[in-house]
Amino acid sequence: MTIITGKIGSGKTTELVRYAIKNNCTIICQFEEHIKCMQDLSQRLYGRDVKAISYSNFFYNGCFRGRKDNTKYVIDNIECFLMRLMTERGSTSSIEGFTCDGEDIIFKEIINGEYYSKYLV
């Protein structure tokens, strides 16, 4: 798993698009309108479309439940994705933190305007 971090406007989405193209992943976007933005960015920077779907498409059209086609996904804005997951059934709960398995995690962080990878150990 790769985690891309950075401030607003630092290029996280551009790095996510690059990663998705390189690794043949589908990007899960917050809104339908963001799909076109991802594809425009992909065309402009890499000369090809990136596969992208919305959170709604992911949750309601079978992607989330029982899919067995080995599709690889990357998520744009994980905080919003998790909140959407929590509130799908009308819950007013919130996610205040999380843990994850430290093996096979790569952090990408921006240093002097460039993204660098480092393994979480």
| Distance in angstroms (rounded) separating the CA atoms of residues 53 and 68 | 17
Give the model's confidence band at 92: pLDDT under 50 very low, under 70 low, under 90 confident, else very high. Answer: low
| Distance in angstroms (rounded) separating the CA atoms of residues 15 and 4 | 8
19-42 mean pLDDT: 93
- Measure CA 24 to chain center: 13
pLDDT at 89 over 70: no
SS3 call for 28: strand
Task: Look up the domain containing 25 and give its range.
Answer: 2-119
Q: What is the pLDDT of residues 33-84, one digit of tens each?
A: 999 999 999 999 999 999 999 988 887 776 666 666 778 899 998 888 888 8
- How crowded is residue 98: how many other Cβ atoms within 10 Å of its Cβ? 8
The number of distinct structural domains making up the chain is: 1
- Only one residue has tokens 């920077």, namely 45
pLDDT at 119 over 60: no
Of the two residues 33 and 111, the one the predictor is more confident about is: 33
pTM for the model stands at 0.78
Per-residue model confidence (pLDDT) at position 109: 64
At 12, the amino acid letter reads: K
Q: What is the pLDDT of residues 96-105, one digit of tens each?
A: 776 666 666 6
pLDDT at 121 over 60: no
